Amino acid sequence: MERTNKIDKLNMINQITHLDIENVRKHFPILNRLVHGKQLVYLDNGATTQKPSVVIESLIKHYSENNANIHRGVHKLSEESTLAYEDARSKVARFINAEDCEIVFTKNATESLNLLAYSLGETLREGDEIILSVMEHHANLVPWQQLAKRKKIVLKFVGLEKNGSNKLDLEELRNLLNERTRIVSLTHLSNVLGTVNDVHTISKMVHSVGARFIVDASQSVSRMKIDVNEIDCDFLVFTGHKLYGPTGVGVLYGKKDLLKFMPPFLTGGDMIKSVSLESSSWNDVPWKFEAGTPPIAEAIALGRSIEYVIKIGIDNINLHEKELIAYARQKFEDLDYVTVYSPSLESHIGVISFNVERVHSHDVASLLDNEGIAIRSGHHCAQPLVNYLGIKDCARISFGLYNTKEEVDKFIIGLKKVKTFFGEKIKVKNE
C-alpha cells in the first residue's frame, strides 16, 4: 500500500498534465528523418519503439564518463557504474510496484522467459501441465515446448472465444485448469490482435488451483500501468527496447520468495557467493540470475526511459494511444477491401493487424515504405495465432506515444494508393 502511494506521488510531481505531442515529438531525434524523401511515419512500435534523447544521452554519458565493470572493482568508476546500475533496478522496481530484489536484468523478454522455462521448469515433473494460449508470441511458446520435450510435460492451449471477439476464452481456461497445472504463462497484450487480457481475473483463477502465473508484458508495459502487486502475478517479463529504452536489456520480475528457491539459469561470474574447484554457492537474488557482465549501460538507459515515461505519464500515454486506436479503427471502417483483426474497442490498445484484399502484406509494407511509412508484415512471430485466424500473414500498425492522427491519415492515404496500385482486378490464381 505504502509503495503504491509512493508511485502515485512520483507521478503527480512529474507528470505533464496532458500529452503535448508537438513537444513530445521533439524528444525523439529520429522522427526528423526522411525516408525515401518523405517524412518518416513510424508505425512499427510493436517491434521496437524509438528512443528519446535522454536515453541516447544516457548511453553516451555512461561510456564517456562512468564506464567500468560493476560489483567488482573498488575504484571510483566501478562504484559509479555499480550505483547507477542498481539505481536503474530500483527505477524498474518502482515503475511496476515491486521490490528491488525482485527485478532481474536479462537480455530481453525472450531470455526472461527462457530463464523461467529452465529454472522454474527444473521444479516440474513428468505429467505436470503448463497452460499457454494460441495468441502467444513465439518467445512465450518455444521455450515451453522445449521444456515439455525435456521433461515430458503436457502443454495445453487456451483458444479465442468462439464468437469471433478475438478475445481469450476464459471459460476454456477455467476448464483447462486443474490440480496438475503448474504454470500458466500468458501475454498481457497480444502483439497481433491488440487484445488486452484480463490478467487480474486470470491471476485469481490460476492461483485457485495453486499454479504459478507468468505475464508477458512486452507489449503492455509501454502503454498500460502495471502493478505486479495488484495483478498478483508470480512473474512478469518485458523487454527494454519496446519501452523507449535501448536493445539488449530485458526484465524479469519474480516474487522474491519464488526467486529465492529457484535454481540459477546461466552460471558463471557475478552470480556466485563462493567458488571452489568442486562446487559453488549462489549469490542472493536477484544477482543469482545475472551471470557474467550484464548490459550495464543499457540497464542504466532503461532506467532513464522509465523516468521519461513516468514524466510523460503512463495514463496520458494510455489515453493517447486509445484515442489513436479508436481513430484508426474508424478510418479502417471506410475501406471495404481491408479486413481488421481486432477485439472490441474497450479491450483494444497498441496494435491493429489487417489485410488488404488480394494484396500480400509484404507488398503492402513495401509500398507504404515507399511513402516513408514503416509498418510490420508477415506472421509477427506468432505463427500459431495467424494460422488460427485462418490467414497466412497480415500487416500491422502499432502506435507509440509520439504518433499522431495526421500520421494515421497519411497511412490511410498510403493504403488507398496500395489498392490503386494493385488495381481493382487481380486474378485469383485458383479460380
Smallest distance from another protein to CB 216, Å: 22
**Residues identified as active-site:** 381
- Cell triple for 266: 546461466
8-state DSSP, 196: B
Phi and psi at 13, nearest 5°, equal: -65, -45
CA 276, 282, 287, 288: dihedral to nearest 10 degrees?
Answer: 120
Q: What residues form DSSP beta bridges with 338?
A: 356
Cell 493487424 sits on residue: 353
Smallest distance from another protein to CB 393, Å: 5
| CB closer to another protein, 85 vs 341 | 341
Longest distance between any two alpha carbons in the chain, whole Å:
74
Smallest distance from another protein to CB 427, Å: 5
| CB closer to another protein, 41 vs 359 | 359
Smallest distance from another protein to CB 46, Å: 17
Binding site for another protein (CB under 8 A): 36, 359-363, 366-367, 369-370, 377-379, 383, 392-393, 421-423, 425-427, 429
Smallest distance from another protein to CB 287, Å: 37
| CB closer to another protein, 75 vs 427 | 427
Compute the C-alpha angle 295/299/305, nearest 5°: 145
- The H or E element spanning position 80 is helix 76-95
| CB closer to another protein, 322 vs 360 | 360
- Cell triple for 423: 488495381
Distance CA 277, CA 396 (A): 53
Q: What residues form DSSP beta bridges with 125?
A: none
Distance CA 206, CA 294 (A): 33
| CB closer to another protein, 288 vs 419 | 419
Burial classification of residue 105, based on how many CB atoms lie within 10 Å of its CB (0-12 exposed, 13-18 middle, 19 or more buried)? buried
For residues 161 and 344, the answer to whether their CB atoms sit within 8 Å is no
